[in-house]
Amino acid sequence: MQDIQTLVRRIHESPWRLVLVAAGGGIQGIAELFKIPGASQTVLEAVIPYSPPALEAWLHGKPDHACAEPTARSMAMAAFLRARQLHSLMGNAASAPLAGVSCTASLVTDRPKKGAHRIHIAIQRADVTRSVSLVLTKGARSRSEEEQIASLLFLQAMAAACDLEPDWTVPLLPGEALEPHMAEAPESWQRLILGECDVVSLGTPGDWQRGRPPVLFPGAFNPLHVGHLRMAQIAETKLGRPVEFEISVLNADKPPLDYLEIRRRVEQFSLQDRIWLTRLPTFAEKARRFPQATFVVGIDTLMRIADPRYYGQDPQMRDQAIRELAAQGCRFLVFGRFWHERFLNLNDVAIPELLRGLCTAVPESEFREDICSTRLRTQEM
């Protein structure tokens, strides 16, 4: 197809350098780049994590669903970070712009599928996150025809990542429609993702900088629910200080957040709330940045702090991290949670005594909300 060849040449002529990742479909879109000379000027890496373990390894965590728009965005963010890593090792053309582009698809296979046939594409650059989704008319195309649609959308996204637009459109059937999303990042968010700063503050300023230690509620808030709000309300009453929410864009066991995801989570809060976006995935890092803070946590979070698995299976590293929390003057206000068929509170769990000494428990009589963000996400999907 001559128009595709023209677009590929324009991509190769652009200054952009790409890392591409495709799972379940769109692979021919990658192949198109290599049919025209110049791919070495464009492609830093192309990855096809087809099996579930391969996708989990790419994302550094298990996605809620392999073929979903948020997963495509996480794949693109991982690709963007990989592009930065590879480019830093090349030693030349240091100013070349970088992007990660992803495709995850669920297409015709050799057995009937219960769910819809669908394609999710995403682009991650330093300044923007973009995605586009398409639900295909089930039974209307062969596998090769669905793969062609996925590959064309993937190729369009590669062009868009390079600030190019094709002069052709993807052929859709009646009733099919593309669903695009985009979030342009303010400069402060860009600096955070690029590692040029470790915190960004949003919302109403707190008063801890005038000598009052902060009360921080770290969490993913995916989504924010009534349990979180009640925890914040109780913490403010008990401690006599406003609660400030903290969302780390990096996480020890989850994919990094992109701009669409950051915006979605931030928009859940009111304008009166103070929110910190950070690059502080561990509590030791949070304590160094916010000394003397009281952290509002659920018992599940406290158990992770005490779990040697998060310290390379090294209890000594775990104990050193807890000692640092104590040295920084930090404390924990601990809320119980329904966990594995029972309600757990501080007295029900085995944790190091030094960590227990930093904790104040909120009794079940004051707080119990049997609600779970993971369950809410599953219901939404």
Residues 213 and 137 in one domain: no
299 CB contacts (<8 Å, ≥6 apart)? 334, 335, 336, 337, 339, 344, 345, 346, 348, 349
Write down the H helix ranges in the chain.
Answer: 2-13, 27-33, 52-59, 69-90, 143-161, 187-193, 226-239, 259-266, 283-289, 299-306, 315-327, 353-356, 373-380
Q: DSSP string covering 164-221, please?
A: ---SS-----TT---EEEEEEPPHHHHHHHTTS-SEEEEES--SGGGTPPPEEEE---
Residues 345 and 303 in one domain: yes
Please report, for the domain that includes residue 180, its CATH number. Answer: 3.90.950.20
Minimal CA–CA distance to 280: which of 268, 295, 270, 267?
295
Compute the distance between CA of residue 203 and CA of residue 213 in angstroms, rounded to an integer. Answer: 18
Minimal CA–CA distance to 261: which of 68, 85, 49?
68
Instruction: Say what the pLDDT of residue 94 is.
Output: 60
Beta bridge partners of 23: 104
Instruction: Say what the pLDDT of residue 90 is.
Output: 87
Compute the distance between CA of residue 272 and CA of residue 266 in angstroms, rounded to an integer. Answer: 12
Contact criterion met (CB below 8 Å) for 344 and 31: no
Q: Side-chain half-sphere of 279: how many Cα atoms within 13 Å? A: 13
Instruction: Say what the pLDDT of residue 113 is.
Output: 85
0.85 exceeded by the pTM? yes
Residues 171 and 282 in one domain: no
Question: Among the three residues 184, 208, 242, which one is the final residue of a domain in this structure?
Answer: 184
Calculate the alpha carbon distances from 317 to 34, 103, 115, 140, 349 in Å: 47, 38, 45, 56, 20
Structure tokens that stand for 287 in this block: 């304590």
3-class secondary-structure state, position 346: helix
Structure tokens that stand for 191 in this block: 């600096």
Residues 175 and 253 in one domain: no
Residues 155 and 241 in one domain: no
Residue 235 phi, psi (nearest 5) = -60, -40
Instruction: Say what the pLDDT of residue 253 is.
Output: 63
Compute the distance between CA of residue 304 and CA of residue 155 in angstroms, rounded to an integer. Answer: 41
Residues 175 and 199 in one domain: no
Report the run of H or E that residue 9 belongs to, with start and end.
helix 2-13
Residues 301 and 286 in one domain: yes
Residues 69 and 209 in one domain: no
Cα pseudo-dihedral 213, 253, 106, 373, rounded to 10: -40
Residue 13 phi, psi (nearest 5) = -80, -15
Question: Among the three residues 184, 218, 246, which one is the final residue of a domain in this structure?
Answer: 184
Instruction: Say what the pLDDT of residue 291 is.
Output: 96
Instruction: Say what the pLDDT of residue 167 is.
Output: 85
Residues 221 and 369 in one domain: yes
92: DSSP letter? S
Report the run of H or E that residue 25 belongs to, with start and end.
none
Please report, for the domain that includes residue 281, its CATH number. Answer: 3.40.50
User: Which residue carries 């979180």 as its tokens?
Assistant: 228
| Count of structural domains, the chain | 2
Instruction: Say what the pLDDT of residue 289 is.
Output: 96
Compute the distance between CA of residue 40 and CA of residue 30 in angstroms, rounded to an integer. Answer: 13
Question: Among the three residues 168, 184, 200, which one is the final residue of a domain in this structure?
Answer: 184
For residue 314, what are the domain limits? 188-380
Residues 363 and 325 in one domain: yes
Q: How many CB atoms lie within 10 A of CB 168?
A: 15
CA 102, 153, 121, 262 torsion-angle sign: positive
User: Which residue carries 């197809």 as its tokens?
Assistant: 1
Calculate the alpha carbon distances from 279 to 117, 151, 267 in Å: 36, 34, 19
pLDDT tens for the chain, 381 residues long, are 569 999 999 999 999 999 999 999 999 999 999 999 999 999 999 999 999 999 999 999 889 899 999 999 999 999 999 999 999 998 765 689 999 999 999 999 988 888 999 999 999 999 999 999 999 999 999 999 999 999 999 999 999 999 999 988 999 999 999 999 999 999 999 999 999 999 999 987 665 555 678 999 999 999 999 999 999 999 999 999 999 999 999 986 666 899 999 999 999 999 889 999 999 999 999 999 999 999 999 999 999 999 999 999 999 999 999 999 999 999 999 999 988 889 999 999 999 999 999 999 999 999 998 776 566 555 555
Residues 225 and 321 in one domain: yes
Cα pseudo-dihedral 273, 292, 371, 205, rounded to 10: 0
Residues 213 and 123 in one domain: no
